[in-house]
A and B are shown apart, each in its own frame.
Chain A
Amino acid sequence: MVRPTSSIENRKTASLLILLVPVLLILSWLVKLQIVNHAELAEQSENNRIRVQPLVASRGVVYDRERRIIIDNRPSFTLSIVPAEAKRDTTIPNLAALIGLDTADVQKRLRKNMVSRYQPAPIMRDVPFEMVAVIEEQAARFPGVSIQMEEVRRYTPGLGSECFTGHVGEVSQEERRRNGGNDYRLGSIIGKKGIEKHHDGLLRGREGTAYIEVTASGQSRGPYEGKAPAPAVAGADLVLTIDNDLQHECVASLDEFCCGAIVAMDPRNGEVLAMTSYPGFDANIFSTVIPESLWQVISQDTTHPLLNRPITGLYPPGSTSKLLTLGAALEEGLIGPSTFLTPCLGGYQFGNRYFRCWRPGGHGSVSAAGAVEVSCDVYFYQVGLKVGVDLLSEYFDKCGFGRATGIGLPGEEKGLNPNSAYYDKRYGKKKWSRGLVLNLAIGQGELLVTPLQLAQFFCGLANNGVVCGPHLIKSIEFPDGDQVSPSNQIVWKLPFSPRTLEILLEGLRLVVEGRNGTARHLKNNLYSLGGKTGTAQNPHGDDHSWFVGIAPLERPEIVVCAIVENAGHGSEVAAPTVKRIIDAYMAKKRAAGAVADLGRAEDE
């Protein structure tokens, strides 16, 4: 059989050309993937195999001024099951028996929390250490059970410190958005209130990153060697100005009452020595998942334990602000220290209204300091009329009322300092009576202050008119050993001349040491105490009882401001409370002095 050669030669050539088509196609795609797109695909390949695992930074510890712990961290254990390693007939039944759950419950949690067969699915959080010990010892009975340790915030109980420590919680979507989402992962812990929130950036430190090589199904193959892990940097520790002993004293002294607040400050530098809101709550409950039932109890409690009274509680200052009224009048030359006004006969007629003095019998004629001593309302009605609404408001403003103190806590209230513009707005122009000033002069009416503002004002009086803004941070200690003290101390002056201050302080002294002083029962031989009582009328119930004390008067070191809600006269309730705290402070100081003297004696 002979075939034309040309035909077979043509087909051979054609076949070889056809052969080139698939080969060239494959070659061009290979070049496209392996040369042109190589970098991009190599990166995708790396992303495939590397799981970025955050290394949580240890949150900073918070100490009191003597380095006693206020907040630290405790280990918390989470029980998980790695599904790929679990054995059907042993793992789940044994674990269920240990933690006291039904087998079905455990299975349900496993299904709910399972990400992949190789990643631990959490079954129970914050399990007691005894259970962890059992699992570690009898590991063979619990195949596939793993234990993760994480740190949980621990607040020293009994300090009543929630009003400034605040608490932490899991970061919310809103908070992540606000922070750009970079620093906080889903499930990150963030400060929600108080110092925890205000200094979150310092306390939280910086998360590290570990690079783990994983298989397609998520099984870990150990650390990825191509990229060194970035270690976590622990948060900075904070040393507060707080004295835990005084905190305990504050809680104990308010224990017999329903509700109240105490602020103790060092007037020389603005350090807050103690601050408490009573009743408080246990901040530890927010560290782990808070049970709904407990949340209901706390949030619906009529004593409002979640209310932060020292910085957000708003009260009329009552007679405690009479010093300000008097100071304004003296400073403006409207009265002199010995100007005698219309004597007090138990009340004062203004227009068609009769304003009573707290003492029905009246006080007769009193001097400026004497009016403070006996807290004569009639005297201050007349002073208030001389000063007027707007000037009085100006002085309130200059003394720090109506604006936040800048203590460095989130959510601080400004209070309310009304002036004529305010009344015009509220009641309409000329629709309000000048008689309002009589109420303002004795710290009643629309005027609202926080206990912290009042403490700050008295600190100014005690410190020659120089107000050192209240603050809580004594020093910040970074993990690398650096130690810094906050330098942004706020310092300003009260609008009173030394002469005026002298009269006001004399009034404060007479309140305790004067024959007719409203707090004369506090007089003692151990130290000199000054102060001012206050009884704030409360439209919702019994009067609030105020007292602000200063000691020792000749060189003041401590100012304590206390309010006890619905407790009646300042002299009867708040005054002994304040004295108890100042007593504790003085006793401690004497003890320290004695030790120091002893030390000196031994040196000699």
Chain B
Amino acid sequence: MLNYRDLDWRVIGAALLLSLIGILLIMSAQHYAESEYHQGFYLRQSLWLLFALIVFAAVVHLPLRLFDVSAYIFLGITVGLLVLVLLVGSSRMGATRWFSFGSINLAPADMAKLALVLALSRFFAYTKLPPASKRRLAFTAILTLIPVALILKQPDLGTSLVFWIILFALWFWSGLSPLYMILILSPLASLVAASHWLAWALYFAVLLTFLFLSRPGLSFSVLVVVANLAFGVITPYIWNRLADYQKLRILTFLDPGRDPRGAGYQIIQSKIAIGSGGFWGKGLLSGSQTQLDFLPERHTDFIFSVLGEEFGLWGALVMIILFGIIFYRAVRIAARCRSRFASHVTIGAAAVLLFQFFVNVGMTLGFMPVTGLALPFLSYGGTSLVLTWALIGLIVSADYRWQEY
């Protein structure tokens, strides 16, 4: 039996509060909905929370070694599910992301996030290769690319980015020098700079100077330059290959006013909702943007706009502080863990939560593109909530067993 007093109740309490706030906001968001089905969303979310707490308890109770040894098998199973969902999954709005069981939809992509965190952590925990070795970088990148490719096929650009964030966070935590991180990511900068030939030339001058001064090794330098050239050249090609909805999202992100009734409409209405909330908010059930249907997707992707409108800046601050407690504790736990696997898992889990938190809130505030990434704990959605609590379970478990190797 566990000694419950030694569990990290700060993390559990913050997670629980966030989940309850989420249920309250979902209730408010659909309070005046036309159908009883919509009005009942908060009850369904409550049931999901119960299930998520059971999963959490199970994760905390099980020994961490179990996750360690089964990490690759788990990744294999989720990859299988990702393939399966493309074949038999149900489609909505042009995307095939879910297994449908009656009214319950399961998204295997959520499970894949957890699986990748575990698999990469296992690799980094036992590899003897030096952090900057090409084989180490290449193997982990390929491991990440498998689920990413399947998720891009769905298609779901936003979720696929989460997997790259897991990889980068674990690269960093496993000791890869920031210099290498910058160089590895540099082709993305090349992609952006290539929009104008002068900007691209300037960028290349800076890149070559940087390579000359830091001397990361000849073969690596050549690889970086080639990758940068390649990304600059294929920009127009990639742009043409993007689906219309992806182009529209990027264009709308760059200029929300260009399509005020379409994709930009969501961002404009969300900004109006949050801004009109002011410091104190309009009060529960009193947000006109929320209650009068102006906010789209308000119980899922735009749940933060409901918080911003009805509870204002102080409500948002409470939420940020609760998230902050979880992130801060995760870094402290990861640094203390004796087990390299547990340490990496904690960082990977925190990276998933932080990235989704940042991109989702940034989207509702209008400084990030509309990606469809859920806000952990708060957005309506069963699999997302269960995954989030599983990640919290891993963090709490890592803390509880920090002395184990």
Query: Known: A19-B328, A29-B367. Contact between A216 and B357, CB under 8 A?
Result: no
Is residue B340 within 8 Å, beta carbon to beta carbon, of the partner chain? yes
Contact indicator B320/A27 (Cβ below 8 Å): yes
Q: What DSSP secondary structure best describes chain B's contact surface?
A: helix
Complex-state Cα separation, A49 to B316, whole angstroms: 24
Interface range on chain B: under 10, 10 to 19, 20 to 34, or 35 or more? 35 or more
Interface range on chain A: under 10, 10 to 19, 20 to 34, or 35 or more? 35 or more
Contact indicator A12/B335 (Cβ below 8 Å): yes
Q: Which residues of B contact A29 (CB under 8 A)?
A: 362, 365-367
Which residue from chain B places its CB closest to the CB of A7 in the assembled complex?
A: B175
Is residue A37 within 8 Å, beta carbon to beta carbon, of the partner chain? yes
Is residue A112 within 8 Å, beta carbon to beta carbon, of the partner chain? no
Q: Which residues of B contact A40 (CB under 8 A)?
A: 275
- What sequence of 0s and 1s flags, for each residue 205-221 of chain A, a beta carbon within 8 Å of any chain B beta carbon? 00000000111110001
Q: Could you say which of B173, B175, B288 has the most chain A C-beta atoms within 10 Å of its C-beta?
A: B288
Is residue A45 within 8 Å, beta carbon to beta carbon, of the partner chain? yes
- What sequence of 0s and 1s flags, for each residue 277-304 of chain B, a beta carbon within 8 Å of any chain A beta carbon? 1110000000011001110000000000
Q: Which residues of A contact B340 (CB under 8 A)?
A: 1
Query: Known: A41-B271, A216-B294. Contact between A34 and B288, CB under 8 A?
Result: no
Contact indicator A45/B289 (Cβ below 8 Å): yes
Is residue B354 within 8 Å, beta carbon to beta carbon, of the partner chain? yes
Which residue from chain B places its CB closest to the CB of A16 in the assembled complex?
A: B331
Q: Identify 20 residue pairs between A and B in the complex whose beta-carbon atoms are under 8 Å apart, listed by A's number.
A: A7-B175, A11-B173, A14-B178, A15-B331, A16-B328, A19-B354, A25-B367, A26-B361, A29-B367, A30-B274, A30-B308, A30-B316, A33-B274, A33-B365, A34-B313, A35-B313, A37-B275, A41-B276, A45-B294, A48-B269
Chain A stretch 110-141: residues in CB contact (< 8 A) with chain B: none
Which residue from chain A places its CB closest to the CB of B281 in the assembled complex?
A: A34
Complex-state Cα separation, A45 to B247, whole angstroms: 29
Query: Known: A11-B173, A217-B293. Contact between A48 and B275, CB under 8 A?
Result: no
Is residue A23 within 8 Å, beta carbon to beta carbon, of the partner chain? yes
Shortest C-beta distance, A319 to chain B (Å), equals 74
Is residue A596 within 8 Å, beta carbon to beta carbon, of the partner chain? no
Complex-state Cα separation, A215 to B288, whole angstroms: 9
Complex-state Cα separation, A26 to B316, whole angstroms: 10
Which residue from chain A places its CB closest to the CB of B355 in the assembled complex?
A: A22
Is residue B377 within 8 Å, beta carbon to beta carbon, of the partner chain? no
Is residue A9 within 8 Å, beta carbon to beta carbon, of the partner chain? yes
Is residue B13 within 8 Å, beta carbon to beta carbon, of the partner chain? no
Complex-state Cα separation, A292 to B353, whole angstroms: 69
Complex-state Cα separation, A313 to B41, whole angstroms: 76
Is residue B115 within 8 Å, beta carbon to beta carbon, of the partner chain? no
Is residue B139 within 8 Å, beta carbon to beta carbon, of the partner chain? no
Q: Could you say which of A19, A45, A216 has the most chain B C-beta atoms within 10 Å of its C-beta?
A: A45
Q: Which residues of A contact B172 (CB under 8 A)?
A: 11, 14-15
Chain A stretch 296-353: residues in CB contact (< 8 A) with chain B: none
Add 13 more A-B contacts to A30-B365, A35-B278, A40-B275 (CB < 8 A): A11-B172, A11-B175, A31-B313, A33-B274, A33-B275, A33-B308, A34-B275, A38-B276, A41-B271, A42-B276, A45-B273, A45-B276, A215-B294
Complex-state Cα separation, A172 to B347, whole angstroms: 69
Query: Known: A1-B405, A42-B278. Contact between A48 and B365, CB under 8 A?
Result: no
Complex-state Cα separation, A42 to B312, whole angstroms: 12
Chain B stretch 357-376: residues in CB contact (< 8 A) with chain A: 357-358, 361-362, 365-367
B residues lining the A interface (CB < 8 Å): 172-173, 175, 178, 269, 271-279, 288-289, 292-294, 308, 312-313, 316-317, 320, 324, 327-328, 331-332, 334-335, 340, 347, 354, 357-358, 361-362, 365-367, 405
Query: Known: A16-B328, A19-B331, A30-B365. Contact between A48 and B288, CB under 8 A?
Result: yes
Contact indicator B278/A48 (Cβ below 8 Å): no
Complex-state Cα separation, A30 to B277, whole angstroms: 10
Which residue from chain B places its CB closest to the CB of A43 in the assembled complex?
A: B276
Q: Which residues of A contact B332 (CB under 8 A)?
A: 12
Is residue A8 within 8 Å, beta carbon to beta carbon, of the partner chain? yes
Q: Which residues of B contact A46 (CB under 8 A)?
A: 276, 288
Is residue A524 within 8 Å, beta carbon to beta carbon, of the partner chain? no
Complex-state Cα separation, A27 to B308, whole angstroms: 12
Q: Which residues of A contact B335 (CB under 8 A)?
A: 8-9, 11-12
Is residue A293 within 8 Å, beta carbon to beta carbon, of the partner chain? no
Complex-state Cα separation, A221 to B332, whole angstroms: 52
Shortest C-beta distance, A266 to chain B (Å), equals 62
Contact indicator A34/B308 (Cβ below 8 Å): yes
Complex-state Cα separation, A8 to B175, whole angstroms: 9
Q: Which residue of the partner chain, among A12, A25, A41, contacts B331 with CB atoms under 8 Å?
A: A12
Is residue A44 within 8 Å, beta carbon to beta carbon, of the partner chain? yes
Q: Which residues of A contact B365 (CB under 8 A)?
A: 26, 29-30, 33
Contact indicator A30/B289 (Cβ below 8 Å): no
Contact indicator B278/A26 (Cβ below 8 Å): no
The 7 closest A-B pairs by CB, nearest first: A41-B275, A45-B276, A216-B293, A22-B358, A33-B275, A12-B335, A42-B276
Complex-state Cα separation, A214 to B274, whole angstroms: 19
Contact indicator A215/B293 (Cβ below 8 Å): yes
Q: Which residues of B contact A15 (CB under 8 A)?
A: 172-173, 331, 334, 347
Shortest C-beta distance, A220 to chain B (Å), equals 11
Complex-state Cα separation, A213 to B286, whole angstroms: 13
Q: Which residues of A contact B276 (CB under 8 A)?
A: 38, 41-42, 44-46
Q: Which residues of B contact A48 (CB under 8 A)?
A: 269, 272, 288-289, 292, 294
Q: Which residues of A contact B278 (CB under 8 A)?
A: 34-35, 38, 42
Q: Which residues of B contact A31 (CB under 8 A)?
A: 313
- What sequence of 0s and 1s flags, for each residue 186-205 of chain A, a beta carbon within 8 Å of any chain B beta carbon? 00000000000000000000
